[in-house]
């Protein structure tokens, strides 16, 4: 069971995981040791899955976002395993979602330029059989966040 202070700690850490415990404690009106214990409990209980650094994509040479729509005629376990293996070997594929409806999978790719997609496409179709695969380039990101809302957790 989380209280408002726990939620605030989670919100603040999602905003900046490098925030010093002393600053965090001040912001949630706790002593440093009490705040540290809460963070440790949140980690042990799995609310904090891991702490990561988010890199600046343009500075990393990856300003282009593409979404690839995949439809397959096969839904067997062996096809899915082939697909999982193929996507896991391509670091430019940063998210993959299995969907309901007429689309089977959506892949999110980060690329240095649109033309780089051709190599990814060739690699995928060489390793996995698809019914249909198409791609769209994101022209503008209107919202992007890694922060989750904390008000749903009890």
Q: What is the pLDDT of residue 82?
A: 96
Q: Is residue 148 part of a domain?
A: no
Q: Is the pLDDT reported for residue 69 higher than 90?
A: yes
Do the Cβ atoms of 48 and 13 come closer than 8 Å? yes
Q: What is the pLDDT of residue 143?
A: 96
Q: In this structure, what CATH number is given to the domain that contains residue 27?
A: 1.10.10.10
Same domain, 9 and 74: no
For residues 137 and 53, give the distance between their C-alpha atoms in angstroms, rounded to a whole number: 25
Same domain, 32 and 71: no
Same domain, 25 and 75: no
Same domain, 26 and 82: no
Number of domains comprising the chain: 2
Same domain, 68 and 39: no
Q: Is the pLDDT reported for residue 60 higher than 90?
A: yes
Cβ neighbour number for residue 41 with a 10 Å cutoff: 13
Q: What is the pLDDT of residue 37?
A: 98
Banded pLDDT at 154 (limits 50, 70, 90) = confident
**Mode of pairing for the β-strands spanning 105-111 and 64-71:** antiparallel
Rg (C-alpha) for the chain, rounded Å, is: 20
Q: In this structure, what CATH number is given to the domain that contains residue 81?
A: 3.30.70.920
93: which 2 tokens?
Answer: 């594929």
Same domain, 77 and 18: no
Residue with tokens 């729509």: 69
Q: Is residue 51 part of a domain?
A: no
Q: What is the pLDDT of residue 118?
A: 97
Q: Is residue 52 part of a domain?
A: no
Same domain, 28 and 83: no
Banded pLDDT at 134 (limits 50, 70, 90) = very high
Which tens digits make up the pLDDT trace of 20-57? Answer: 999 999 999 999 999 999 999 999 999 999 999 999 99
pTM for the structure as a whole: 0.89
Same domain, 84 and 116: yes
Helix (H), strand (E), coil (C) string for 127-145: HCCCCEEEEEECCCCCCCC
Q: What is the pLDDT of residue 1?
A: 86
| Domain membership of residue 81 as a residue range | 64-137
Q: Is residue 82 part of a domain?
A: yes
Same domain, 37 and 87: no
Q: Is residue 86 part of a domain?
A: yes
Which tens digits make up the pLDDT trace of 80-128? Answer: 999 999 999 999 999 999 999 999 999 999 999 999 999 999 999 999 9
């Amino acid at each position: 069971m989380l209280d408002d202070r726990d939620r605030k700690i989670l919100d603040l850490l999602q905003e900046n995981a490098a925030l010093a415990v002393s600053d965090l404690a001040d912001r949630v009106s706790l002593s440093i040791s009490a705040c540290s214990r809460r963070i440790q409990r949140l980690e042990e209980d799995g609310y904090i899955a891991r702490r990561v650094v988010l890199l600046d994509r343009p500075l990393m040479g990856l300003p282009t976002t593409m979404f690839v729509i995949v439809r397959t005629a096969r839904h067997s376990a062996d096809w899915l395993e082939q697909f999982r293996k193929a996507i896991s070997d391509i670091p430019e594929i940063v998210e993959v979602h299995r969907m309901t409806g007429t689309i089977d999978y959506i892949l999110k790719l980060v690329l240095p330029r649109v033309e780089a997609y051709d190599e990814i496409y060739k690699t995928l179709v060489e390793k996995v059989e698809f019914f249909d695969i198409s791609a769209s380039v994101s022209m503008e990101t209107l919202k992007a966040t890694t922060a989750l809302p904390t008000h749903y957790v009890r």
